[in-house]
Amino acid sequence: MQNEPVVHVIDDDEGVRESLAFLLDCSEIATRTYESAMEFIDALPKVERGCIVTDVRMPGMSGIELLSRLRALGVTDPVIVITGHADVPMAIQALHAGVSDFIEKPFSDEAILLAVRSALAKLESRSEMEAERADIDSRLNSLSGRESEVMEGLVEGKANKVIAHDLDISARTVEVYRANVMTKMGARTLSELVRMVMISRLT
């Protein structure tokens, strides 16, 4: 996958696909188009990260069914649903299912661009969080077994003496392991260490 995010437009209406692609291209936003949900699913292994814009009503697989399929496949890219007036209840259902936004037809250029830019901003923020979590996980993996045990005690708010009793080691030894943990994790304070562990454990 390339670093530049791509907007994937899925609509069985060729005119809608082309007009959206033209609008996004003019706004210097990379775009790919697909005439059906299944075409997009088939392309998934090679699809660049970005934002997905899909119509609700399409033959074969609806936008809502596509959303469920993407979540089952572990795709977390933000999804924007395009909906007709009669589809609004369905779009609200999609929002509860995790859709980033829904745009009701007919929509203005400004409305779709705002939704896309907002979705891409969320993606960038999430990518930064994922990178931070990967860095934290790498640091956690550098800890020895005993250091990990001491860290668990610290995160649970236990005093050095309590950790020492639990692990059947001296309080002085706990202090040594604690210093090692703080150094390897790059944490200046206990609260910073706790924050790191919480980020690592986010689902």
Residues 150-198 have pLDDT tens digits of 999 998 889 999 999 999 999 999 999 999 999 999 998 888 898 888 8
Same structural domain, 104 and 152 = no
Model confidence at 59: pLDDT above 70: yes
pLDDT at residue 92, rounded to an integer = 66
Cα angle value 66/72/75 (rounded, 5°): 75
> Which domain-ending residue is among 100, 126, 152?
126
Axis-axis angle for helices 14-26, 109-141 (nearest 10) = 70
Return the CATH number at 74: 3.40.50.2300
CA-wise closest residue to 176 among 167, 72, 86:
167
What total of structural domains would you count in the chain? 2
- The Cα 52–Cα 72 span in angstroms is 16
pLDDT at residue 2, rounded to an integer = 46
Q: Evaluate whether residue 113 is within a structural domain.
A: yes
> Which domain-ending residue is among 70, 102, 126?
126
Same structural domain, 54 and 121 = yes
Structural domain including 183 reads 142-200
Q: How much is the pTM?
A: 0.62
Residue with tokens 């206990």: 190
- The Cα 142–Cα 198 span in angstroms is 17
- The Cα 81–Cα 52 span in angstroms is 8
Q: Evaluate whether residue 136 is within a structural domain.
A: no
Same structural domain, 113 and 188 = no
* Residue 85's pLDDT band (cuts 50, 70, 90): low
Q: Which helix (H) or strand (E) holds 77?
A: none
Model confidence at 203: pLDDT above 60: no
Q: Evaluate whether residue 194 is within a structural domain.
A: yes
